[in-house]
């Protein structure tokens, strides 16, 4: 009988030790990012594909946009896959993806040259319509797609809570490449 009790105590000790070491690491994040893959700003949700391993691949999806008086508006949806490297709470983040965005801006006209018509007594203006748009790189129209990369630092508390990140986000499209775009984010890890 003593052997059975001893065996139960040993098994119970091992099981309780195993459960005590099984801490839930934060593998999901919600954050606001200024700049970065969302272009001007975005609200994001990020998660690890393997929630037991912070150094695994993950994905982020976000949304951002604005509207200003005068008819200009912008909307973006960044999608990226990323991988974290490091030990809590310090991680290097590497990622790549694309940002879908749309915009509208009321075209406006301005005079590039003109002449005075003596018959009508009016100044006649040759106009130029400006309906082009760019966000660091020229964009061919709306909707559009911008390729994004991510190289950065992410600080995530071991038990979850307030997290922050800073990164360099090279962006590219068919009109060029801009290597020095960046972003900074703050949020919550759980």
Q: What is the pLDDT of residues 129-148, one digit of tens each?
A: 445 567 788 888 889 999 99
Range of the domain at 162: 25-106+137-189
* Structural domain contains residue 91: yes
* Structural domain contains residue 15: no
Tally of domains within the chain:
1
* Structural domain contains residue 75: yes
State the pTM of this model. Answer: 0.74
Average pLDDT of the chain is: 84
Query: What was the pLDDT predicted at 190?
Result: 94
* Structural domain contains residue 181: yes
- Distance (Å) of CA 3 to CA 10, 11, 35: 10, 12, 65
* Structural domain contains residue 1: no
Q: Give per-residue pLDDT as tens, 42-64.
A: 999 999 999 999 999 999 999 99
The model's confidence at residue 32, banded by pLDDT at 50, 70 and 90, is very high
The pLDDT of residue 14 is above 90: no
* Structural domain contains residue 7: no
- Mean pLDDT for 102-118 is 65
* Structural domain contains residue 14: no
* Structural domain contains residue 174: yes
**CATH code of 173's domain:** 2.40.160.20
């Amino acid at each position: 009988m003593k052997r059975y009790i001893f065996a139960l105590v040993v098994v119970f000790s091992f099981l309780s030790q195993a459960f005590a070491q099984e801490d839930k690491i934060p593998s999901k994040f919600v954050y606001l990012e200024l700049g970065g893959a969302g272009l001007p700003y975005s609200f994001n949700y990020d998660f690890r594909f393997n929630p037991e391993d912070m150094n695994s691949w993950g994905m982020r999806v976000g949304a951002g946009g604005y509207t200003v008086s005068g008819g200009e508006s912008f909307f973006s949806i960044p999608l990226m896959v990323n991988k974290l490297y490091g030990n809590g709470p310090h991680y290097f983040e590497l990622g790549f993806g694309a940002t879908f965005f749309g915009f509208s801006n009321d075209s406006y006209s301005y005079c590039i040259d003109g002449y005075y018509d003596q018959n009508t007594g009016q100044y006649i203006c040759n106009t130029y319509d400006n309906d082009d748009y760019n966000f660091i790189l020229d964009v061919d129209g709306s909707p559009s797609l911008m390729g994004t990369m991510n190289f950065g630092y992410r600080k995530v508390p071991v038990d979850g809570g307030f997290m922050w990140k800073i990164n360099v986000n090279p962006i590219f499209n068919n009109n060029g490449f801009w290597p020095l775009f960046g972003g900074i984010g703050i949020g919550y890890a759980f």
